[in-house]
Amino acid sequence: MLTVSPVTHAEVVLRNNVAHCHRYHRFQQNDLGRLPGEIMIMPRTARRPGRSLPQRTVPLLITSRLIGQTGDRFTLLALPIFTVAAGATPAEAGLVFTVYAAPGIGAFLIGRPLDRTHRLRGICASAELLRAVLLLGLVLIIPRITSGGWLLVLVVTFACGCCSAVFDVGLQGYLPRAVSGLELRNVNSWFARAQAAADVAGPPAAGAVVAVAGSGTALLVDAASFLLSGLLLCGVKKQLAPAVPEQCKPTIGWSSGMTRLLSDTVLRNVVLTMLVLNFGGAMIGSLWVVYATESIGVGPTALGAITSFGGISALVSSVFIGKLTKDRNMVRWVTGGFVTSLLGLLCIPVAYLTAPVVFLIGFQVLFSASGLLVAVGAAVIRQERTPNDLQANVYGVVRTGQDIVLPLAGGAATVVASAASVPLAVLVGALTATIALPCVYTVYRSPFPAAPPRAV
């Protein structure tokens, strides 16, 4: 006989503690210890975390991300100029990028505590608001300092980098616990569109503000963008239950994210492919301007026009991202994006031999379009193959790997270019990226859901 029994939240938790702690991942899939033939009518507070966000809040998340990423473009352009104005030499101002990126190396340390909290939205909003306060304070204080102002700029830059790392890891832990199924893929695709729009509009807008009103005003605009982004996040009223139940927390350690990443064949090969591509691309990127202008002889005006093809290509590609991520053959599209990215990188050394403008445009178009698809596809694969209690932990490991690879690649490019030549360093970077091909093939042949998961 089928019975219906109301179950309180306390009874659900108690039953889970007794019988299902060692199978917590099944708990996440709504296995709350049902007895045979029993239907549990659970109050709203007892339902599992991870149900879809209210429809009206998704645009808030997307708008917040667009504004925040545009602010990032202002930061990267205006801060070095502001540092020089504060009394630093050009060489000292070059430390801004290193200092801003340095906190990302410790991202793996913050994934675990973020996975254990239900206030991820509040943490992300606080990180954005704190960045706004730091930049506003910097602009107001620096004019009143007679000496050593550039050191204060570096300190504030490091603090902003810490906020950026906390925001990125927190957001990647928040989304899979708040959005599920097809809606998660849809939000990821809209985030990609926001990034493409910020890449196209952000740098020109930042350059125009710096040229007309100065770097200080640009930083004020930057602070306003982070303030608005944080306030929009505050408008997302959804709070999450902790991803890890209290009784299971001791089983989630600092190395759990790395263990999960290494034990999953698909996840491991996707991340390895991304890291190898980033290494090869960063070797080329660090020498891009010198290679194009000095080794090939492309003028600055032509180089600017060539680079614009990359932004346009990414923007056009973003239009189709949503459809591709919903395709049942998404993994095939992602592996195709990996191969296309490799072909784009190989165009650069070929440009040294013949038709430089054609092949440099080919690089911008192929690499930018496929890079956006790869980034979204890799994020979806990582989120869908990672339990909710490890989302921030795993992403923290990936973020740390990325932030270690980029400076190493820049250093390797400098060593090869100094010892031999810039064209040889570019060739080495392109060939290094091809090492990822075995990983790409493994991902292509690996089992993956034949169709996207149903929205919950």
337 falls within a domain: yes
For residue 453, is it within any domain? no
Q: Is 455 part of any domain? A: no
- List the CATH number of the domain containing 136: 1.20.1250.20
Residue 52 lies inside a defined structural domain of this protein = no
Residue 450 lies in a domain: no
Q: 197 and 277 share a domain?
A: no
Q: Which residue matches tokens 């704190």?
A: 130
| Domain match, 281 and 423 both | yes
- Structure tokens, 143: 């004019």
Per-residue pLDDT of the chain (456 residues; tens, 9 = 90+): 434 444 444 443 334 443 434 333 333 333 333 333 333 333 333 334 444 445 566 777 888 888 888 888 888 788 888 888 877 777 677 777 788 888 888 888 888 888 888 888 889 899 999 999 999 998 888 877 767 777 888 888 899 999 989 998 888 888 887 776 677 777 887 887 787 778 777 878 888 888 888 888 888 998 999 999 988 888 776 555 445 544 444 445 567 778 888 888 888 888 888 889 889 988 888 888 888 888 888 887 787 788 878 878 887 887 777 777 676 667 778 888 889 989 999 999 998 888 888 999 999 899 888 888 888 888 888 888 888 788 888 888 888 888 888 888 888 888 888 888 888 999 999 999 888 888 888 888 776 553 344 333
Does 399 lie in the same domain as 272? yes
Check: CB of residue 139 under 8 Å from CB of residue 174. no
Residue with tokens 């690499």: 367
Note whether 373 and 398 are same-domain residues. yes
Domain boundary among 217, 249, 281: 249
Based on the fold, state whether residues 217 and 260 are members of the same structural domain: no
Residue 370, domain member (yes or no): yes
From residue 102, alpha-carbon distances to 146, 152, 344, 395, 401 in Å are 28, 16, 29, 16, 12
Same domain, 66 and 206: yes
Q: What does the alpha-carbon distance between residue 151 and residue 133 come to, in Å, rounded to a whole number?
A: 18
Q: Are residues 40 and 70 in the same domain?
A: no
What is the reported pLDDT for 442?
84
Residues 306 and 419 in one domain: yes
Domain of residue 339 covers: 255-445
The model carries a pTM of: 0.75
Q: What is the CA radius of gyration of the chain?
A: 24
- In sequence order, the 6+-apart residues with CB closer than 8 A to the CB of 156 are 134, 135, 137, 138
Nearest to 243 by CA among 379, 399, 114: 114
Residues 317 and 227 in one domain: no
Which of 392, 324, 415, 439 is CA-nearest to residue 108?
A: 392
Q: Is residue 344 part of a domain?
A: yes
CA dist 171 to 119, 140, 212, 388, Å?
Answer: 11, 30, 34, 13
Question: What is the separation, in whole angstroms, between the first and last Cα of the chain?
Answer: 28
Residues whose CB is less than 8 angstroms from the CB of residue 377 and which lie 6 or more positions away in sequence, other chains included = 324, 325, 330, 331, 333, 334, 337
Q: Show which of 209, 226, 249 is a domain's final residue.
A: 249
State residue 41 phi and psi, 5-degree precision. -95, 105
- In the chain, the number of structural domains is 3
The residue assigned the tokens 């985030």 is 191
pLDDT of residue 427: 92
12 belongs to a structural domain: yes
Tokens of 442: 């493994």
